[in-house]
């Protein structure tokens, strides 16, 4: 699994 960084983190949060 790749870790989100910056704005990508905001996409992972709701996706989780």
pLDDT in single tens digits along all 16 residues of the chain: 566 566 666 766 665 5
| Lookup: tokens for 15 | 């996706």
Counting every residue written for the chain, the total comes to: 16
Residue 11 has a pLDDT of 66
Taking the C-alpha atoms of residue 6 and residue 13, their distance in angstroms, rounded to an integer, is 12
- Looking at residue 15, what is its pLDDT? 54
For residue 3, give the nearest of 16, 12, 15 by alpha carbon: 12
User: What global pTM score does this model have?
Assistant: 0.07
How confident is the model at residue 2, as a pLDDT?
A: 67
What does the angle CA 10 – CA 5 – CA 9 come to, to the nearest 5 degrees?
A: 15
């Amino acid at each position: 699994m790749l870790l989100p960084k910056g704005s990508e983190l905001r996409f992972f949060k709701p996706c989780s």
